[in-house]
Amino acid sequence: GWAQEDHAAALRAFQAGCLAAHAPAPRDVCRRARAYGLLDEAASRRFLEANFRPQWVGGDGLLTAYFAPEYPARAQAGGDFTAPVRRKPDDLVMVDLGLFDPALAGKKISGRLLGQSLQPYDDRAAIESTPASAPIAWMKPEDLFFLQIQGSGVLDLTDGRRIKLAYAASNGRPFVGVATILRDQGALADGDASGEAIRRWLSDHRGPQADAVMDRNPRYVFFQPLPPDDREPAGAAGVPLIPGRSLAVDPSLHPMGAVFWIDAAAPALAGAPSGYQRLALALDAGGAIKGPVRADLFIGSGEAAGIEAGRIRHDLSLYELVPVSDARP
C-alpha cells in the first residue's frame, strides 16, 4: 500500500508529468513540486500527503498495460514485410464533438466527407485492400497489428535507421479485441490470452487465416514519424510517458495530468505479477480505454516491457489524488 510506495520516485514522476495539467489547483501544486527539485524519501512523502487527498473513483474496474514496442521493418516491401505503415490519409476528417456540445467534451468522431455529409471511414479490411500512399515503412502484418494497439513505437530498419512513430489518427471504428475470437476458435489455451500468445498465433498463421482474425477488429491506426531522440514517446497529454507511472484513461471522464493511486490485484492471466500499487499520472488516452475505473499502465519500451504489459489484466480500484484545495470535505 501507500506505506510501501517509493515516495521519492512517485514525486519525481509527478514533477516530470504534472505540466500536462491545466486546472489552476494542480498547476499550483506542480509549480511548488518542481521548485523543490529532488527530495529524499521522507520529504517526498510529506509533500505528497500535505498536498493531495485521495478520493475513491467508485466501482470495480480493470487495469491493463501497454508499451512502446521496437519492431524490425524495411524501407521497401519484401519477404515477410508486407504490411505498410500508413500515414494519416488526406480525406480522413476528425471532429471534436465538444466544440458543438459541452456535454460531449472529450468525444471525437472520424469519417470521410461525401458531398455535404460526413460518413464513417473505411474499416480495417477495406483500408488494407487499397494500395498505400507513401508508406513510412513496411512491417510484418502481426507486428503492425500490435503496433496499432500500442499506438506508438520504434522501427529498426535493415539499413540501420531507427524511426520513432507516434499516433496520428484512427479510422474511428470501434476497437475489438481478438483474444476472445481466438479462444472461441480453440486457438488459445485456457488462461493464456496474453499478448505473447496472440502474437505467436498470428505469426504462425500469417496469411489469409491471420488476416481474417485481425479484420474482426475494424479499428485502424495511422502513424507519423517523429524526430529521433532518446526520450520515451509522448502520450495524448503531449509530455513524454513515464515508465510504470503513466496511465491511459478515458479523457471524457478524467483530465490529462490527473494524479491517481492504482490498487490492482487478482490477475486474470497466467504468469502475471500479483498486483500493482503505485502513484501514476493520466498522460495518455486509448480507443479501448472507456469508463471511470479503466486504466492502461505504460510499462516502457522494448521486448521485456512488452512481455510484462501483455500479462497485465488485473482487477482495479482507483483513487484520484486531488489537490487539497479541490478535495471534498
Q: How many CB atoms lie within 10 A of CB 174?
A: 11
pLDDT at 214: 97
C-alpha grid cell for residue 11? 514525486
Class of residue 326 by CB neighbours under 10 A (exposed 0-12, middle 13-18, buried 19+): middle
Q: How many CB atoms lie within 10 A of CB 19?
A: 16
Domain extents in the chain = 2-66+232-326, 68-226
Contacts of 12 (CB under 8 A, 6+ apart): 38
Query: pLDDT tens digits for 280-301?
Result: 999 998 777 999 999 999 999 8
CATH H-level, domain 2-66+232-326: superfamily: RlpA-like domain (2.40.40.10)
pLDDT at 270: 62
Radius of gyration of the chain (CA): 21
C-alpha grid cell for residue 31? 509549480
C-alpha grid cell for residue 67? 508499451
- Contact (CB, 8 A) for 112 and 169: no
- Contact (CB, 8 A) for 30 and 36: no
Q: What gap in Å lies between CA 63 and CA 246, rounded to an integer?
A: 12
pLDDT at 310: 85
C-alpha grid cell for residue 78? 519484401
Q: Which residues of the chain have pLDDT under 50?
A: none
Strands (DSSP E) found in the chain: 52-68, 70-73, 83-84, 93-96, 108-114, 117-120, 138-139, 153-157, 162-170, 221-226, 246-249, 259-265, 276-285, 294-301, 313-323
CATH code of the domain occupying 68-226: 2.40.240.50
- What's the predicted TM-score (pTM) here? 0.70
